[in-house]
Structure 1
Amino acid sequence: MHHILYLHGFLSSPASVKAQATREYFAQYYPDVQLHIPQISNSPAHVEQQLLTLIAQHPGLIENGLKAIGSSMGGYLSTYLIEKFGGKAVLVNPAVRPYELLQNYLGEHVNPYTNEGFTIVPSDIEVLKQLDTARLNNPKAYRVMLQTDDETLDYRQAEQKYAHSHLIVEQGGDHSFVDYSRHLPDIAEFLLNGIK
């Protein structure tokens, strides 16, 4: 049994289009892969403990190195976990400095998927900074998928940080990563080395 962790982005959920496409693909082509898609807390202050608890509850996730897929903020969190536990990750339009971006999100919000209300406070920015990974131990542990017309994040930040990783930079697209499903066979291959 192989385990893969999928981490969605900020203001998203396991019901997102990419998360569901990933679930369907692995269910069809890799039935012995257990895909974990947690609802990540909207509050950055709770995210690290939530993820560490999840891994403690499912030790199979890190048995042979963590395998993760992370979108946007989920890409930032996936990098933190890979640097902590080892393994490899596919990052889709990953956030590189979300603590800068969230400066513009201080205040009250509602998650459009869950309708949960929450508040981003200045201490959340500091919490995110603590999860930053200034240096990558093994850049080749990352497959990084970027689209240049991402309207939320500057793709060049990720292009620079992951310059020595497996980089895929597509012209156009948007933050959701247009045509993501087309990449799922390569994502599975990268994470599982062709093991079915």
Structure 2
Amino acid sequence: MDPQTTHLLYLHGFRSSPRSTKARLVAKHVARQHPNLEWWCPQLPPSPHDAIDMVMKGIAHWPRKSMAVIGSSLGGFYATYVAGMTRCRAVLLNPAVHPARDLTRYIGSQTTWHDPSEHFYFQPEFIQELRAMEIGALTRPERLFAIIAKGDEALDWHEMSARYPDSRIKLLEGGDHALSDFEKAHLGDVMAFINPVV
């Protein structure tokens, strides 16, 4: 039996931030229902190498048996890497499966979703950084839970489902990439899987 989660990491997606709707909803739920839970939702730098380096250093002293990670889109790809390295529980929300392939068309100047005045440059070398983070089959697939929407307009649900064949999957008939019904339809399932301390 797994111990209750004492430390929770949230990793946002490409062009996103801790101000994303889902990140804020989870943060609000944690503050209200699980005040003893250590919560960290960092602003990830554009470089995948720098992002995962910051994350792994930030969780270096977290207890592996009682930590968990939630990742959305590109953050789901990062969360898969974190779970592979730590064997912690992970929830993946429409996770990116082949970002090295899919993000090549975004090389160049980009803006963030939540503040179009914020610009960053997605460098060509970031593609190789993503390739370097691709891991094979997961050693503890039962510790992952993926919520995947067939209606995702950005990612292919067939690829997402095929990536996690031995993990728990909640496959939505419709939905969208943002999981617009996250609070009402999915937040409870996410927190139940993570099983945080009260």
TM over 0.5: yes
Distance 2:48 2:112 in 1: 14
The SS at the match of 1:50 is helix
- Greater RCO between the two (CA within 8 Å, min separation 6)? 2
Contact kept in structure 1, 2:93 and 2:147, CA below 8 Å? yes
The SS at the match of 1:64 is helix
Contact kept in structure 1, 2:36 and 2:197, CA below 8 Å? no
Distance 1:87 1:124 in 2: 26
The SS at the match of 1:113 is coil
Contact kept in structure 2, 1:66 and 1:86, CA below 8 Å? no
Name the counterpart of 1:43: 47
Name the counterpart of 1:7: 11
Task: Give the C-alpha shift of residue 65 in structure 1.
Answer: 4.6
Distance 1:70 1:12 in 2: 12
Task: State TM-score, norm by structure 2.
Answer: 0.91
Q: Cα deviation per residue 1:28-67 (whole Å; 9 max; x = unaligned)?
A: 22121121110011222421211122123xx23x342530
- After superposition, the Cα gap between the structure-2 partners of 1:195 and 1:34, relative to the gap in structure 1 and judged at 3 Å, is closer
Name the counterpart of 1:174: 176
Name the counterpart of 2:142: 140
What is the percentage of aligned positions where both structures have the same residue?
Answer: 32
**Root mean square deviation, CA, Å:** 1.6
Contact kept in structure 1, 2:64 and 2:86, CA below 8 Å? no
Distance 2:92 2:135 in 1: 14
Contact kept in structure 1, 2:64 and 2:88, CA below 8 Å? no
Task: Give the C-alpha shift of residue 134 in structure 1.
Answer: 1.8
Name the counterpart of 1:119: 121
Name the counterpart of 2:96: 95
- After superposition, the Cα gap between the structure-2 partners of 1:65 and 1:29, relative to the gap in structure 1 and judged at 3 Å, is closer
Which deviates the most, 111-120 or 143-152?
111-120
Task: State TM-score, norm by structure 1.
Answer: 0.92
The SS at the match of 2:155 is coil
Contact kept in structure 2, 1:8 and 1:19, CA below 8 Å? yes
Gaps of 5+ in 1: none
Contact kept in structure 2, 1:43 and 1:119, CA below 8 Å? no
Contact kept in structure 2, 1:42 and 1:111, CA below 8 Å? no
1:84 lines up with 2:88 in the alignment: no
1:128 lines up with 2:130 in the alignment: yes
Distance 2:90 2:43 in 1: 19
